[in-house]
Amino acid sequence: MGEIRNKDGLTEEEFLKQYKPSKYERPSVTVDMLILCMSRYLDNLKVLLIQRKNHPYINCWALAGGFVGIYESTYDAACRELQEETGLVTNTYLEQLYTMSNPDRDPRMRVIDVAYITLMREQPVLAGDDAKKALWFDISLHDDILELKNEEENINIKYCLHKKIFKNGVVDTTGYTQESITDEKLAFDHNEIILEGLLRLKNKILYSDIAFNLLPEEFTLPDVKRVYEVILGKELYKSNFNANIKSKLISTDCKITSMIKGGKKAAGYKYKGQ
């Protein structure tokens, strides 16, 4: 195999030795993490945002992220950043979401951003090493309004969504353009990443068990149901939901208090884990 020569008469070894990779101008590559958890009383999803302390988008809120090292995969970079930026444990669900590549998405330079989505239980976050503020924001997505809110700090970020249908081959594909309708804004195209992530989550809980990443180890049936309801954005029927979900659960034979506000004691369950 190494014996094959190319049109210049070079073997692979010789070729690699003389290869100059600087033929093309190269973009920077970053990863960003859409870090989601459920609120304490299971009222809504939350997203972790970090306040930027420098241009561009100074003072704006952004997803946690950073540059991809030259010797690491984007997945490894995402794990590393997750730890570094927030001090969060890494044993969480982590899935590649979408690669953002609009050439003018970053005014500093050309940056291609590989977005990941992470599902975890809520936990206190350390401020990053460079004194950036990190906060959980309540998410609501109703009536074409995407709203991110932090009550304690009284921060409110709102986007208005406009449906956009474009032809992709013979099929119509629905996309969204977004318009910020508050003073506070998200940095870069992070609003698009958040929306994309919410849609992915909504779609994927219907045929997978990823929702259990958002719950503690032990939970009640109303707790799981609430998680599905928040993500799907609609009420579900108790009886039907319970019957379906039970096949994925093991009873712990304890009665525990539901996480839901006003919830009662109910049977404890664990995720069976296939």
Partner DNA sequence: CAAATAGTGTCTCTTAGACAATATCTC
Partner DNA sequence: GAGATATTGTCTAAGAGACACTATTTG
* Binding stretches for its own copies (CB under 8 A): 4, 6-7, 10-12, 15-16, 19, 21, 24-29, 53-56, 58-59, 67-75, 91-96, 98-99, 101-103, 107-110, 112, 114, 119-120, 168-172, 208-210, 212-213, 271, 273-274
Residue among 133 and 246 whose Cβ is closer to DNA: 246
Binding-residue total with DNA (CB under 7 A): 19
Identify whether 56 is preceded by a cis peptide bond (ω within 30 of 0): yes
Counting Cβ atoms within 10 Å, is residue 133 exposed (0-12), middle (13-18) or buried (19+)?
middle
Residue among 92 and 258 whose Cβ is closer to its own copies: 92
Structural element, H or E, at residue 4: none
SS3 201: helix
Q: Is 203 in the site for DNA (CB under 7 A)?
A: no
What interhelical angle do 221-232 and 238-245 show, nearest 10? Answer: 110
Partner touching 16 among DNA, its own copies, none, CB below 5 to 8 Å by kind: its own copies
Q: How far is the CB of 201 from DNA (least distance, A)?
A: 18
Partner touching 67 among its own copies, DNA, none, CB below 5 to 8 Å by kind: its own copies
Distance CA 46, CA 55 (A): 26
Q: How far is the CB of 238 from DNA (least distance, A)?
A: 4
C-alpha torsion sign, points 121, 122, 126, 130: positive
Q: How far is the CB of 239 from its own copies (least distance, A)?
A: 25
